[in-house]
Structure 1
Amino acid sequence: MRDIVQEYHREAQKTKDVKTYALARDIYKEYLDNFPKSEHAYSMRFFYAEILWALQDYENAAINYELVVKADPKGKYSVTAAYDRVLAYEKMVEIMEKGQKSETLKEGKVDEKKSKGAVKRVEKFIKLEKGKTYEQKEIPKIELELAKACDEFTQLAPNHKEFFAVKFKAATIYYKYNHFDEASKRFGEFIEKFPDNKFALGAADMILNSYEIKEDWASLFFWANKFIKIKPLASQKDPAEKNKLYQAHLQEIVEGSAFNIIIDMQKKGKVLDAAVAFRDYVDKYPQAKHTDKALNNAHVLFAEAKYMDKAIESASLLIDKFQKSEFYEPTFYKLGYYYEKIADFQNASKYYEIYFDKLKKKTKEAGDAIYNSALFREATGDLKGAINNYQIYIKAFPTNKDITQVQMKIAKIYDEMKDYEKAKAIYKGIISKPKDVSMSDMIEAQYEIAMIYKKLGQVPAYEKELQTLLKMAEKIKKGDANEKTFYYIANARFLLTESAFKSYMSLKLQLPEGTMRKQLKEKTEKLDKLVKEYTAILQMGQGDVGIAALCRIGMIYQDFTRTLLDAPIPKNLNDEQREIYVAELQNMAFPVEEKAIEAYEKSIAKSYELTLYNEYSKIAQERLDGYKPGSYPDLPETKYVAKEYFYGQLFYPSLIAKVEEPVKKEVKPEEKKEEKKEQKKEGSEVKSEEGTPSEGGEEKTEPQENEKTPEE
């Protein structure tokens, strides 16, 4: 049968007749079906496949070429069969793409020895478009078989002259249907074998393009880093930029993908890890396009992770090395904030001032900076520097709503420096502009003027200014005042009782009896007036002043009791009369004493209710202990602070540092550091990053006499 089929095959080659070829084909098939493992089956199958090709039965030709290779991969015809299998599937793909059906020749002539041609070269590279999504698509069966045929050929014949074309064909099929990992593996093998081939750059670009579009930064970094080490590839000229080597393009991709790998790390909430990675990036790629951005992100993330020392180091390096960076100027502000957080107020002031000076446009953040620097100058005792910065703020932002409060700050510093005339001049200037200044600010300024006269010992002027304040208060309309304003009004009224209170306390009973009766009547009338006034003050609802008013009521009643009990006894009374006289005074005194105790108890109760403790709380406590030792719990230890120091000062929320380039936010640092200690300046507030005022007040020493007043 072998001889017969070979004879028919030779006859077909002579006549080139399709029908003779078809007869030879059928005899080949019958032989192979009956003798699949004969010693001649290998060559017979190859010739059978050749006839199938000649008859344009490409599918069966491809199947039998594959069987030839499997029968003996090292056989005489195996490499040819493997290559022809690729050509057969390529023919089938071509027919499919044309929308035609594959049909075997039925008649006509066939030239079996005509060349089958070569694998078609890729005419242009596939370019993916940014912004589009490239999901994997199912590869049509014929093209998948073509890709498999290509792979098996390149494995069988790695040194074949058509290796590069076949390998490229397989990679392109996978790439065409968005199977980028499979495509990259084949393009990569091609590049390693033919790094200086004209298609190598295109293959490399297709790999890099696919992972860039997918934002698979780790894979992009891997391939770019790999290509940069292949010198024949990297040393070629970049097709996109003729004056540059491809190596420069690869280096940019390495640096960019490394940067974005860290961005992904930060998105997953690994804040500290990302901060460390950005800082390491700067050392590894000091000349990279993204180095300044990496350094900016490093210090911002270190600060977020509460590693202020590392944030300061990274920010300082940025302003030292990257003066032309877009992050240069904002970093001075952030440095000021970082130093603020570790309570280094001198450096905080320094960098806030530099930031302000460097900005040509005076933005809101610039205002925050110079304002905060003024606060910190004040906190560190540089009062002249604080005044200077407050004045700069006023000049730069004359229309800001807090200008009056800033002027008030300057006046209070002059007050602290005992330059009372300058302080007074500022306060008077505020009061002189009723159309531009709120009633609450005018009352505060008026109150401070009164306090200056008190410090100067000018009591008449002091009381006059307080009276003026109360007249101003009569003009207050709904919405004109805040709690601080009502405190000033209540305390002014309280302070104006001082002369009457001292007069009352100094009035003692003296003989003769006529004089004593007049004095008792006078003291009783003064008591009634003072109690009425303090009760009215209490009803104003200002807790701090209310505690003082209650205590004063107790002091008044207690003094009246003591006055009665210490009253002189007329000399003309006998012993029995003296005894009756003293008993009668005691009967008069004890009900008044009960009122004193009640007032003290109410004063302390109000302190506990409001958790507000001042010098009058202590006086009330001490007086009650005198009546009932140990019956009342000790008040919390506290330094007394004038209430006005606790009222908020207008401020801007500071510039919050933002990580650049797509960054989201599970902070999981390797170790925890001690939480930062919030440092607060007593008596001032900072325009803080968090937008929350930090309140404080001046230390208050305990009063030496019971007659101390709340503002002291």
Structure 2
Amino acid sequence: MLALLIAAAVAQPGRDPALLHRGAPPVAAVKEQEQEATLRRMLELGGAPSGQAEALARLAGFLRARGLALTIRSQAAADSGDEAAAAKDRRAAADARAEAIARYRELLKKYPRAPRTDETLFFLADTLQEAGRDPEAIAVARELTKRFPRSVWAPASHVFIGEHLFDAAKLDAALKEYRAAAEVPDDDVYPYALYKAAWCRFNQSAFTDAMKLFKRVADISEKSGDLNKVQLAREARRDYVLAYARIGKPESAKDEFAKKFGAENGLKMLEQYGKLLFDTGRDPEAQVVHRQLLAVHGEVPAAALDQTRLLVLAQRGGRRRDLLSESKRLVEIFQRVREGAPSRGMAVADERYEQARRLGEETLRNLAVEIHNEARKTRLEETWIAARALYAEYLSLFPDAADAYDLRFFYGELLYARGLKAESAEQYEAVVKQDLSAKTPGRWLQKAAWSAVLARNEAMLHGGAEQKDTIENLRGDWEAVRRWALRFLEDRRLTAHGALLHDLRRVEEQSAYALADAVAPDPKKAEALLAFVQVHPRGQLADKALFGAAAALSRAGRIDEALVSRARVWKEQPRSPLVPRALLASASDLAAIGNLGDAATLLERYAAGYQRQLATARDRRVHSRGSRPSESAAYEESKAQVALHDAAVLREARGELRQAVADRALGLQLWKSPADPDERRYALAQLRARVDEPARVARDMADLARSVKQKPALQIAAWREAARLFAKAGEASNAQWSWTELERVYRSLGTKGREKLPLDALAAAADAHFELGAGAFESFRKQEIRPPLMATLNRKIALLQAVKRRAEETVAMRQAEPAVCALAQLGEAQMLLGQAIATSPFPPGLNGEQRKLYRAALSERAEPLYGEARETLKSADAKARELGVTGPCALRVATLLDKMSVKPAERVQLSVAPSPVVDIPELVDARAVAGERPKRLMSETVAAAARATSGQAVEKFQALVQALHLPPAQFDLAVALDRAGRGIEAEEAYRAAASEKGALGYEAGARAGALAAARGDAKAARDAVVAATTALASEPAARLLQARIELALGNADGALAAVRSVLAVAPTDSSALCTMARAQLSVGQSGTAKLFASRA
């Protein structure tokens, strides 16, 4: 911004909020508004030109300041996430800037010779730039510099113009503007103008001039002591280095920098110069500078970075001798830096030291591996020596690096290849120890363990044991590995060493597990893993084997055995980290096959385990301060939260509402700030309403509604539930209060807020509107027509209008059930008014004849009201039928119509359409047969049957069967009979075709079973299932067909048993899920059925 280019001396003073009294900002804002209003009135009233010019300038300044303040506030609002407030403030800021620009232009036009016109031009240019109107801002700035070249605002304006020219790469014109700004040495923009002039000369390749200007900027800015100018001095020194790198010599850089900028700044510049040369690949010059730096730095952390870069430069040079020399010096310097840092009060964790560590680690690692590979190819002695030295230096400097694990193993391999058995064994054992202490062993555990055993063996027995090369080919052969492990375990010379004995037993167990885990298929794998557990009941991998056996059994569809195997994990290995996973996996399997109660129990057990884990962690923090950190949690918080929620859902589906309430309440207790706490409280209250006292739950709902003001949809839903529960508890006044609060919330949202509400919230608002109109209807109903007749009649008519208005408002909310209820109430009110008029009392003094005439006249007057009531109630009945409303209001409409001798329209009784177990299959065509004649006959018959009646089609396919005697022809005959409604004959034909193997035989058997089940022949239906299973070797499909047939035969238990085996291997099969839902419904488990239907 242009305003930021001027210095603090010309900045307008501002208030310090910390020095104001509490509440002062609003008072100040009011005062500023009053001043602005005063200025606007002064301009409206007119006056002397000088006064008007001053008022206009002050008003423009107010508007400019307001635009700036609103811009800052909008940015703060956007940072806090309040995008609506930010957008509002941005619009207001734009409006304030636009008016400020207009006022400044008005001032310049009306009072061109007013005092401080240069200031007006400056702030106009600044405001235009803020508004994004840069060309206009530049034009105004040029006008200022042309009309007022000696103005205090001229230097900043020159810089502003220069910045735009510099960005447009117009260097000559930009340099001219910066030099014009630099003609006022005491101006605050003077150092910056020189700095940008230097960059113009740099880009013009005048590096000597640029260096002079950068030097001048650094001198001037350093002397000022101002924080921003000190920063500018640092930038100038850095850019001086860039210019020097273009024309300077590295040998003289140290002396020149120190001479011109002092020793401290000169050293920093020399470091920048060295890094620049290093990064740009100027290796010889970089080597000269870094040797100078190394001599200067001595033993400070920066020396480590200097030597690391010298190592990289040696690597780039490709000379082996230089490379080894520099790597050796690197180790020495790192050690000197580590030892000397504390004595000098320095932290080793210096930024340059850490950079040296990263770069040195990467370089040494790559060099060691690269030269090791070269040594294996060339077999040259000096290459082996170099690789060994690099590995040793790497592990000496970086023993805890991420890649030290791999390089330690490679170092062991190198030492073993060179015949250094004992030293190689030490490296292998270090790899094994690191793996055994890690939660997840690395990739070299197996190889390192065996290599350590063999190397140590050869070192002790002087070559008496098998050579390592003999074993090399066995490393991937677990059978051979286990055989070698058992052989070594029998060798007392090896097992006398405790560490090796432990390693051998561990390797034997791991190899036995690997052999069992590699068995296929899944049933055999499960048997092998369970046998492993029997041999190693207390082994470290017993839990993993049980878990893997359960997974294999689950995949094989043996769900019950899988559950038993997983249960052994938490029973036999209660401290295993696999217990939580086993609980969740078994819960998932149980839920998939419909055992929701057992699944919920396991999920609750997971949550209980998480609670115990929390308690243990708290105790450890209290009683074990300073002890080693605890291991990562086995029970995960997110999974425990989901498990408890799912347990509540399963309990609710089973009708175990009190346990579901307990689970939800525990979830809210454990997690005070879940992702959706209010929604969870609402769900818990809804659940409690089904088991607890309605009055107490209603109050909880009301409390929830009052606390969720930022969630209008949830607030409306809570108020509706509170109102219904209060009404159920007989607390009519509290119910009325809840409905009133609901409508108040709805009305306060405005049109846009209401449009965002979900349909359920809109329906709740309509319910509230209708319920709150009940008072008007009750007043109308109670109003009697009695003397004085006209007064009471007019009163009742007025009350009817109120009921009608309320009903129209409810209908306008476009919610089905409230609209039908409102129309029913309006129709009843119209009918009641007609009855009240027709039966109103006689005026005094009438004889018998006059009373008859009076009553007839009243009946005639009431008839239009009856007609309106009929039309209203007919409309309500039509809407109820159209929108599917079947509640008490629809029944009330039918009752009222009956009272008025109007028969309601017949309601269509919906019923569930019969769902066939297996649909009638499609005809097969000529592709199902082989041979030219069968294909021709099949094609002709299928084509002819498509044009014929069902009876004719049967005859054609009967002729085809007699001609071909093939299962496809028999199948098409069965389909034709099936379509013709000849079920028994079709069933026989399907049975004949079911002898065919493949999909055709399966479809024929399945349809035959469906037809047999439809006529209640259980034996024939089950025989057909067997035939279908034989035709197509697909167990899931056959079991699903069996479940459908058993369900059709009324055997729900058989259907459940069959479909569970399908869901065990295909838990997302929608057909199986639908069958499970129907089976659960048939045994009275409607909640469970609903759960499976929703999953389907």
TM-score, normalized by length of structure 1?
0.49
Larger radius of gyration: 1
Bigger helix fraction: 2
